[in-house]
Chain A
């Protein structure tokens, strides 16, 4: 059983560009959350998707948007990239949308903005 997978592993972009990161949840999981982890910091919640809708959002600007597909996979899009967007982006999945269920994390996508 494959766990949470993310692509690409690494990505280098320049300021002002747009980027799309992808996530496939663990089998049987229908809820996907995205987190941003800056170097030396704990992950910060970006948003969560359930039933193809954004259910909850953290304190991130509208430049950060997402999508969930019918197969529960998800994309994170970031427009007008800033140097400060350089971070490890983590995707986590969980079953059934219940808040207390543990979230399973993927290996992350390392985004570098030059």
Chain B
């Protein structure tokens, strides 16, 4: 079945530091890949997405590139802010078959950014 594995957390950084959160996946075919963010006490917000190999998703300074050869979708940001403190989830969705319309999530990575 489909699965998503995120780097062990939590991650603690100082403001303006470089961020990388690793994500690898297992899926047959060609899934679409997503990063969602969850702020304390809130639901999930889509941060960025990529629908095919070598696509780069980007939003609010965050980027992730769909790497089919390494089955990875690592999240990066060049300079984090205190307001980026949240939980980040990597996820995939695969159309067709029994996985149609179903998001499969990683376990989440807690990011804390200190001033």
Contacts and interface: CB of A to CB of B under 8 A. Distances in A.
Interface string B84-115: 00000101011110111111111110000000
B34 interface: yes
Nearest to B97: A99
Contacts, number: 68
A45 B108 CA distance: 15
A18 to B, nearest CB: 24
Nearest to B101: A99
B107 A99 contact: no
Nearest to B44: A105
A83 to B, nearest CB: 21
B43 interface: yes
Interface of B: 4, 32, 34, 36, 42-46, 49, 51, 89, 91, 93-96, 98-108
